[in-house]
Structure 1
Amino acid sequence: MLIEIVDQHFVEENRKALAMSNHDDLQDMIISEYDFLYLPVDFVSRSNLGYAFLNFTTSVAAMRFYESFDNFSWKDSMVFNTPKICKICPARIQGKDGHVRHFKNKYFQCDTDKFLPVSFSPPRNGSTSRTLPTPIGCRRKMSF
């Protein structure tokens, strides 16, 4: 679900950028894209921990996302039934390569790749030609 929310944001932001750009020179238009996503999950309850890591390919994309989601109230979004407020903060690790290095040898107590961090190559921008995720890290079967 998080991928759908992020993709929709990028669709809207890239439409705005296209509308404001010089249509004669689309090379100068800065496209909002992302190339890494991780939503940490409690593997027992299968609920997210309330934060995520998202790597933007440009500082412009990061600022657009920040302006849309920092202090965003999820209770008004009709997506989640929670009073939580979204807070955007820079991560200690920066860049797709840094995130991939950090997570590639980590083990996750899960039985499916859908809980693993993912990278995208080429980056995703919300368009109809959506890049499939490449899982990062290793699964370790849960034992109870």
Structure 2
Amino acid sequence: MLLAAIDEQCRGAYDFLYLPIDFKNKCNVGYAFINMTDPCQIIPFHQAFNGKKWEKFNSEKVAVLAYARIQGKSALIAHFQNSSLMNEDKRCRPILFHTDGPNAGDPEPFPLGSNIRVRPGKSRAGGSEENRGLGNPSTLASGEELALDSFLGSPNDAY
């Protein structure tokens, strides 16, 4: 649902999406991270979403956009590829997207690191019951990646 809403305005203009999930409640935590491939794409994205209600999600919450601390596809891959998050359900992981050619906007494989961390008390193959280290939108800084606040739903809502 989230991807469909974003793709109506920006399909092929972003290469990364992460909707952090509270694994205990099986719902997202209320914000997402999107990396736009070109700074010029931020303006139409901002105009389409900032300050708007999520009517398709039956919500009164309003989207608030801000710049994120980690910027660029390669930096985001480096940040997440060894994260314990990569041991979680595939629907709860960050998603990369093709941005060129006929596959623009389609998901692409996320390169896994060689030293994926394991959360305390969990095996490598097991899931997590806690929401740790997912970041806070109030700590965001400048760059091209946008944090899109005020999402509702479950891990499936990203698709």
TM norm structure 2: 0.64
The answer to whether structure 1 residue 48 and structure 2 residue 28 are counterparts is yes
User: Deviation at 1:97?
Assistant: 0.9
SS at match of 1:45: coil
Which fold has the larger relative contact order, with Cα–Cα distance below 8 Å and residues 6 or more apart in sequence?
A: 2
Query: How far 1:133 sits from its partner (Å)?
Result: 3.6
For the 8 Å contact 1:116–1:135, the answer to whether it is kept is no
Give the Cα–Cα distance (whole angstroms) in 1 for the partners of residues 24 and 86 of structure 2: 9
Structure 1 vs Structure 2 CA RMSD: 2.7
How many pairs were matched up?
A: 119
Q: In structure 1, how many angstroms separate the alpha carbons of the residues matched to 2:7 and 2:24?
A: 28
How many Å apart are 1:96 and its aligned residue? 0.8
Q: Distance in 1 between matches of 2:105 and 2:71?
A: 23
Corresponding residue for 1:90? 67
2:78 aligns to what SS in structure 1? Answer: helix
The 5 A counterparts of 1:60-139 are 60-74=40-54, 77=55, 79-108=56-85, 111-120=88-97, 122-123=98-99, 130-135=105-110
Cα pair 1:7 1:124 within 8 Å, conserved: no
Relative to the length of structure 1, the TM-score reads 0.70
Where structure 1 has 5 or more consecutive residues not aligned to the other structure, the ranges are: 12-31
- What is the deviation of 1:60? 1.3
